[in-house]
Amino acid sequence: MPFPSHRFYEDILALFCAGIFVSLGVVFFSTHGLLTGGTAGIAIIGTHLTSFNFGTVFFAVNIPFYYLAWTKLGKRFTINTFTSVTMVSLMTEYMDQFITIANLEPVFAALVGGMLIGVGLLIMFRHKSSLGGLGILALYLQNRFNVRAGNIGLLVDCIILLSSLLMFEPYLVMLSVLGAITLNILIAVNHRPGRYTATKKTSIRLQKTETTPQQLTFDSKVLRSSN
């Protein structure tokens, strides 16, 4: 699927907005200790297994996938993805200095958190970017084999979340699965191969041919001679 083209300042503005959406979604999830899929989910699990914070683990997990992005999806995609990952890492780390959530229902946090992350990812995909890691792999498989990135993400996310049953309470895992389903359905519906491919409509102009007096005179002479 060919990526649409945008100007540099359009990419920066869009990726900044996308970073805010994703960071808010992660904050919603973390309020109730919910998990998410992809590299963000791996990073959340990593914060429970190590002493590192989310931003550090999230940034480190994405490093091996940059090679795939650079060689298969292009330099611009890799740079934009690196920018997005850096923005989300910093924003999630300092988001608590700007907002404080006093009360948030778990089901609402799962649904809206998934929607926020999904919208952020859609903006990133639209501007040749991703959250790195498994998102890079999903986009590569979509471009290579015409398989929807949302379907790939949903499968991988379910595997990650179900494996987290070994470490977390089943209730939190089920809410996390609800958020992951919301996120990936949003992507699967709105980010399909060929959706952003521009098509040109060609119009055929029918031109009327005018008959000159000279042509009429010649035609009449030909008819008289034939008779």
**Entry pTM:** 0.71
Record the tokens describing residue 208, joined without a space: 């009327």
Indicate whether 109 pLDDT > 80. Answer: yes
Q: Give kind and range of the element (H or E) at residue 29.
A: helix 8-31
Indicate whether 214 pLDDT > 70. Answer: no
* Rounded Cα gap, residues 221 and 50, in angstroms: 101
What are the DSSP calls for 38-104, one per residue? HHHHHHHHHHHHSS--HHHHHHHHHGGGHHHIIIII-HHHHHHHHHHHHHHHHHHHHGGGT------
Helix (H, G, I), strand (E, B) or coil at 2: coil
pLDDT at 21 (0 to 100): 95
Per-residue pLDDT tens digits for 136-165: 888 788 888 887 776 777 788 778 888 788
* Rounded Cα gap, residues 40 and 58, in angstroms: 6
Most confident region among 64-73, 90-99, 105-114 by mean pLDDT: 105-114
> What single-letter DSSP state applies at residue 165?
G
Distance of CA 24 to CAs 17, 192, 195, 222, Å? 11, 25, 27, 85
pLDDT at 18 (0 to 100): 95
* Rounded Cα gap, residues 43 and 136, in angstroms: 16
Indicate whether 182 pLDDT > 60. Answer: yes
Kindly give, in sequence order, each residue whose CB lies less than 8 Å from that of residue 182, ignoring residues fewer than 6 positions away.
110, 111, 114, 115, 118
Lowest mean pLDDT among 20-24, 120-124, 125-129: 125-129
Rounded to an integer, the average pLDDT of 187-207 is 55
* Rounded Cα gap, residues 157 and 163, in angstroms: 10
Record the tokens describing residue 62, joined without a space: 């994405």
pLDDT at 41 (0 to 100): 80
Average pLDDT in the chain: 79
Tracing tokens 């990952």 back to the chain, one arrives at 85
Measure CA of the first residue to CA of the last residue in the chain; give whole Å. 67
